[in-house]
């Protein structure tokens, strides 16, 4: 989603990526940190899982992301 709310385009290059809503990602990032999950501090970086992550770790990450994204969605209304 761009900072002006447009979510209808794919991110395929720097021009479209530079329109990303970095403030919204920052709120998601800190929501994940608050839940004990470390995500990259920039939406332009990658998140990696490894063979050391258990199914429980992945389920915890999914649950934390659901909570953080729900908070973001509630803030949009």
Write out the DSSP string of 33-73.
HHTT----SSTTS-----TTS-HHHHHHHHHHHHHHHHHHH
With tokens 């290059």, the residue in question is: 13
pLDDT for position 71 = 93
pTM of the model: 0.76
pLDDT in tens, the chain (77 residues): 555 556 667 788 888 888 888 898 999 999 999 999 998 988 888 888 899 999 999 999 999 999 999 999 998 75
Domains and CATH numbers, the chain: 21-76 (3.90.1150.10)
pLDDT at 14: 86
pLDDT at res. 1: 53
For the chain, how big is the Rg over CA atoms in Å?
A: 14
Q: How far apart are CA 11 and CA 22, in angstroms?
A: 14
Determine the pLDDT at residue 7: 63
């Amino acid at each position: 989603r761009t900072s002006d709310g447009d979510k209808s385009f794919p991110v395929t290059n720097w021009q479209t990526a530079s329109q990303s809503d970095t403030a919204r990602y920052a709120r998601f990032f800190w929501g994940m940190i608050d839940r004990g999950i470390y995500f990259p501090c920039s939406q332009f970086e990658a998140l990696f899982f490894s063979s050391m992550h258990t199914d429980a770790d992945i389920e915890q990450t999914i649950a934390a992301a659901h909570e953080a994204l729900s908070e973001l969605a509630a803030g949009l209304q």
